[in-house]
Structure 1
């Protein structure tokens, strides 16, 4: 499902873009789920909800912080969000590339161009599904890229997913999460699961991930140490 947000400080501009999108979105598969009236509001919300949005239509000329500055701030904590600028002027296009913008649309938006952008985003998001972990909790739906997950740990009935920027939780068993994440994630303890690519050091008792020391259990030490050592040496046959 493609989840879309619009950021524009003009109500009429947001309404026009949403109406255009609703004409071409795939029913029950795609929707505009959030609208922001300022860049600051978009940055604040997106930082608290990583992975919940696939595509952001971002106005360039806004009061307060501009669309370009909004994108710069977003890129500090999210390199994966697809950003498409919406503008009345094409001159900024090179600035857009500096913040890894996917494309840009001129106002008023043309349905043909809008359809082209959606087609591209659908393909990119679909191709990346196998590289993502999607889950729900009380705060919403999250979609995290596997490469961004450092490790997971269980506490009572919850599993906590740790990235460099945030820790998120869901009701699940660690075994269930391990099966969804795949072979690159290694069980090092009854309560801990690590991304092999994120491991910095292994010793007899600990595994170090992003400077954090995690326990290595005696029962899993031989198997986990072997797999992690192969990963650290570049051997993908885990």
Structure 2
């Protein structure tokens, strides 16, 4: 599922882009959740109230009030850097200015359906490639994509009320979810993660050093290593470091 926002102050243009997306969805295996916005101000209000919910923004450059480039700059200033932006415009001279906001594509009106579909397919394929570097975790309230590189470690949390409770620890937050640790250990093994204890998986790229039966992470946290796994884990870390410098 790709969440897409279409922001254009002309209803006819919004519906035209929406129709092209629906047509593309019928031709491919891409599924789109489409939201419509009538102004840059309305889209910014969504970001301030709801946060980062879109994979792709399709922005008209020429709008009353804030134009598309101004809107995109505000979104980038909010540090929403992963969303991909496609600009639509009747004036090619805006193209250079759009580079400042990390634009994926720039389409000249009137938009040709074939060209639009080609660009959207490339963009969806880009996100599919990114998915291989993310893990999806679920809580009682929402779903969250975490980059592998941002995860420091995953740990089992003892709880009297929640079965199979896990914490995904990043530099900034601890994200709670439910799951079986061994399944994550298996799925993340080829991405630099290693189970060091029956209740802990670490990301080897965030290891500072090993000290006896503990591993010290780059943030200074000390985590226990299962006594029977000390040699195996140190050997695995050595192999990982050799692979990284080759």
User: What TM-score do the two structures reach when normalised by structure 2?
Assistant: 0.73
2:187 matched to 1:180? yes
Partner SS for 2:194 = strand
2:216 matched to 1:207? yes
2:165 matched to 1:158? yes
- Identify if the C-alpha distance between structure 1 residues 212 and 153 changes in structure 2 by more than 3 Å, giving closer, same or farther: farther
Partner SS for 2:225 = coil
Moved >6 Å (runs of 4+): none
Distance 1:225 1:164 in 2: 24
Distance 2:93 2:167 in 1: 44
Q: What are the within-5 Å matches in structure 2 for residues 1-238 of structure 1?
A: 2-8=1-7, 10=9, 12=11, 13-26=13-26, 29-35=30-36, 37-42=42-47, 45-47=50-52, 53-60=54-61, 63=65, 66-73=70-77, 76=79, 78-79=81-82, 81-155=83-157, 156=159, 157-164=164-171, 166-183=173-190, 184-204=192-212, 205-209=214-218, 211-219=219-227, 220-231=229-240, 233-235=241-243
CA-to-aligned-CA distance 1:19-47 (integer Å, 9 cap, x gap):
33112224774112545532352366344
- Identify if the C-alpha distance between structure 1 residues 123 and 218 changes in structure 2 by more than 3 Å, giving closer, same or farther: closer
CA-to-aligned-CA distance 1:151-203 (integer Å, 9 cap, x gap):
22222422232344554333211112222223311123333212212323433
- Identify if the C-alpha distance between structure 1 residues 149 and 86 changes in structure 2 by more than 3 Å, giving closer, same or farther: farther
What is the aligned-residue RMSD (CA, Å)? 3.3
- Structure richer in helix, relative to its length: 2
User: What TM-score do the two structures reach when normalised by structure 1?
Assistant: 0.75
Question: Which shifted more, 169-178 or 10-19?
Answer: 10-19
Please list every run of 5 or more consecutive structure 1 residues that lacks an aligned counterpart in the other structure: none
Equivalenced residues, count: 228
CA-to-aligned-CA distance 1:59-98 (integer Å, 9 cap, x gap):
4456469233134236x3544x333223443333234334
Partner SS for 1:25 = helix
Is 1:14–1:35's contact at 8 Å kept on the other side of the alignment? yes
Q: Larger RCO: Structure 1 or Structure 2 (Cα < 8 Å, ≥ 6 residues apart)?
A: 1
- Identify if the C-alpha distance between structure 1 residues 54 and 201 changes in structure 2 by more than 3 Å, giving closer, same or farther: farther
